[in-house]
Amino acid sequence: MSRFIDRRPNGRHKSAVNRQRFMRRFKKQIQEAVREAISGRSIKEVDESGEKITIPAKDTSEPSFSYGDGGVRNMIFPGNKEFIPGDLIKRPNQDGQGRGGSEASDSAEEGQDEFAFEISKEEFLDIFFEDLALPNLVKTQIAKIPNYKMIRTGYTSQGIPANINVVRSLREALGRRLAIKAAKNNKIRDLENELALLLSSEPNSARINVIQTEIERLKRTIGTIPFIDPFDLKYNNRVMRPEPSTQAVMFCLMDVSGSMDEAKKDIAKRFFILLYLFLSKTYENVEVVFIRHHTSAKEVNEEEFFYSRETGGTVVSSALELMRDIMLTRYPTSDWNIYAAQASDGDNWNNDSPRCKELLLDDILSLVQYFAYVEIMPRHHQSLWEAYLTIKEVCPQFAMQHIESVKDIYPVFRELFKRSEGITHG
């Protein structure tokens, strides 16, 4: 029989393998527990820490073998003070035995403790966003199937003739020749000084012929040094570096006009925070463009988008016009999958809603993979919703949902970005 010992280190978390196996086995129960936990924490707190979740103990039961009633067994219980080998132990009374419950009860029903454990922030987010995806991403999966590009990374001593770097090779050859000649040139110089001294003091000395012969030999040796040696050859080194096979950009358009009170703005911010967490967690190469608008629109950074208090009237078309201009300038559709999410209370200047419809139909929807509109309005729908309804009927890549309160944020978000085959849009 063969025995295999797994000696791979687990770091500080000695039971990491068992933990992963446990989470795979009870994946469905953990998913349900995470979704229940969402109702108890703010969307802003989703990315801050992990979560303590509980699942019913009955779902974690493991198969086991045990002795049944009857039969003859010899058992010695360690540490007992009453028995020695050979003593007979009276069988305990079977009446009233059973598993303990979590609560006292006068009924005969069994109870079950719940199984509680902690999951990390990364595990929480993985489960939280597991079955979500950007719809209609038809070009390739973002950051999942990378392209590879050859890039220069210095020099190497081996390669093909086409990659020889002539300048670098000549520089190496020059350095080698100078290094080899240096010692011989120094010796020739010393011998020439000695020869000059002998010629002036002892012109008939036998040493003169010896010195002259040695000088000639050294000069011949220097002459045999090759101009370039295979050791000098340097080749341009190139390596394959993965690059994203496609790119995506998400435009976040938020209404911050005066009709958007603090409660509505808070819902809009929570929705966009959830969207931002989803994009940053799921995809490595998604750019996010933040646009705030009232009577005029402005592209802002993340901090200003979520926390600025600027407000004003309502002209929704200003945000759509700015989005169109940014798309045409910075995000060609040949290289980018373009997405947009818009949040507003729908209260728009009446003459501007038809303009918004025109911008979407003529300039924007033909360029985007998916456009999601969320209206935050606890009462009846506003003019913008009515204008957008006609767009939804003719454009499958346009989706719209309604949020009344904070508890609707997550269900609406899942409905908009649930993973499905969807209708592709080129």
The per-residue pLDDT for range 25-48, each reduced to its tens digit, is: 666 677 666 666 655 454 445 555
Q: How far is CA 171 from CA 31, 183, 232, in A?
A: 64, 20, 8
The contacts of residue 410 (CB under 8 Å, 6+ apart) are 38, 43, 274
Q: What CATH architecture does domain 247-417 belong to?
A: 3-Layer(aba) Sandwich (3.40)
Q: Confirm if 290 and 252 have CB atoms less than 8 A apart.
A: yes
- pLDDT (0 to 100) of residue 322: 94
- pLDDT (0 to 100) of residue 87: 78
Kindly report the pTM of this predicted structure: 0.52
String of DSSP letters for 268-310:
HHHHHHHHHHHHHHH-SSEEEEEEEESSSEEEE-HHHHHH---
CA distance 159 to 167: 16
CA distance 179 to 278: 61
From first to last of the 426 residues of the chain, give the pLDDT tens digit: 556 665 655 555 555 666 667 667 666 677 666 666 655 454 445 555 555 666 665 555 566 676 666 677 776 666 667 777 777 777 767 655 544 444 444 444 444 456 666 666 667 666 666 656 666 554 434 434 456 677 777 888 888 888 888 888 888 888 888 888 888 888 888 888 888 888 888 877 888 888 888 888 888 888 888 888 887 888 888 877 766 555 788 899 998 888 888 888 888 887 887 787 777 766 767 788 999 988 889 999 888 887 777 777 788 899 999 999 999 999 888 778 888 999 988 888 778 888 999 999 999 998 898 899 999 876 677 778 888 898 988 888 898 888 888 788 878 888 887 766 544 433
- pLDDT (0 to 100) of residue 79: 66
> Cα(first)–Cα(last) distance of the chain, in Å?
58
Residue with tokens 């358009």: 253
CA distance 267 to 122: 24
Structure tokens at 153: 């990374």
The per-residue pLDDT for range 282-302, each reduced to its tens digit, is: 676 778 899 998 888 999 988
Q: Considering the chain, what is the average pLDDT of its residues?
A: 75
